Amino acid sequence: MLIQMNALYLDPSMPKRSPDMVGQLSAPLQAGEVALVGAGPGDPDLLTIAAIKLLADCDAIVHDALVSEAILSLGSINAECIYAGKRGGRPSADQQDISDALIRLAKENKRVVRLKGGDPFVFGRGGEEARALVRAGVKFRVVPGITSGVAGPAMAGIPVTDRTVNSSIAFLTGHELSDESRINWPALVSAFPVLVFYMAARILPDLAERLIVAGLSESMPVAIIHNASLPDETVEVGTLAGAKSGSIKALPPSIVIVGEVVDDRTPWKGS
């Protein structure tokens, strides 16, 4: 099956695609259409086929800070490249302005790729942009991407689920540490043996403390994967006590994974 699919997509000598096997995600964009596309964690090898095809044939690319240069270089040379970065702690584009820009480009009959790191609907505000496009009557499609919360641990050899450890997993944002946190921390740590945090690098010591107070052991393993899948990827492994004291540190962007699956790590790079 895999070989057949590869042949179907990648072998230019293959005559016609079988319509029942091929989805519509990679079909050329129409004038005035927007694609909300996930760019994965950074390595272009982790793009979807639809993402590559749409990037290569569009009029405008509106991208976030976390989309790598290597991926942007796959964009059509004719495409206008618009930076719409939002990044913790830095001046960021207003969400309304980004949605307005997408709508304006579509109304100018451009074929627009809205490129977001990871998956557009995982802590990526893709839902807000989709709703704004619907309200404006703009045709759009969504191309999922590989989210960094799964890809990051995998690059470090950490399975986010392991039969011996967990049958559930929680994905969270570090922003939940704020005063308006909607999380019941003791309930969280007792329900989910594995926690994966996005946007938690800057608040790691506070986060570790919060988890310990909520009931996790100080010796609970923690891994920090920084710039997952990129050439300067780093992996740090330690414990909640170490994260609290600062003996293991996280630089943004990082995925922080807490749970015994970290002990099941099988480093595979360089093997």
CB distance 158 to 265 below 8 Å: yes
Decide whether 110 or 151 has the Cβ nearer to ligand SAH. Answer: 151
Residue 43 CB, shortest distance to ligand SAH, in Å, is: 8
| C-alpha torsion angle, residues 114, 119, 121, 124 (rounded to 10) | -70
In the block, which residue shows the tokens 């809205």? Answer: 114
Q: Which of 64, 110, 119, 220 is catalytic?
A: 64
Decide whether 41 or 259 has the Cβ nearer to ligand SAH. Answer: 41
Task: Tell me how many helices (H) and strands (E) the chain has.
Answer: 9, 10
Residue 116 CB, shortest distance to ligand SAH, in Å, is: 6
Q: How many Cβ atoms are within 10 Å of 80's Cβ, its own excluded?
A: 14
Decide whether 110 or 195 has the Cβ nearer to ligand SAH. Answer: 195
Structure tokens at 72: 């942007």
Residues in contact with ligand SAH by the rule CB under 6 A? 41-42, 66, 116-119, 122-124, 147-148, 152, 198-199, 225-230, 252-255
Residue 71 CB, shortest distance to ligand SAH, in Å, is: 11
DSSP secondary structure string for all residues of the chain: -HHHHHHHHH-TT-----TTT--STTSPPPTT-EEEEE-BSS-GGGS-HHHHHHHHT-SEEEE-TTS-HHHHTTS-TTSEEEE----TTS----HHHHHHHHHHHHHTT--EEEEESB-TTSSS-HHHHHHHHHHTT--EEEE----HHHHHHHHTT--S--TTT-S--EEEEGGGGSTT----HHHHHHH-S-EEEES-GGGHHHHHHHHHHTT--TT-EEEEEESTTSTT-EEEEEEHHHHHHTSS--PSSEEEEESGGGGG----TT-
Residue 221 CB, shortest distance to ligand SAH, in Å, is: 18
199 is catalytic: yes
Residue 38 CB, shortest distance to ligand SAH, in Å, is: 7
Q: Which of 86, 139, 206, 249 is catalytic?
A: 86
Q: Which of 53, 110, 199, 244 is catalytic?
A: 199
Residue 215 CB, shortest distance to ligand SAH, in Å, is: 24
Decide whether 75 or 118 has the Cβ nearer to ligand SAH. Answer: 118
Decide whether 147 or 239 has the Cβ nearer to ligand SAH. Answer: 147
Decide whether 110 or 204 has the Cβ nearer to ligand SAH. Answer: 204
Question: Looking at the annotation, which residues are catalytic?
Answer: 64, 86, 199
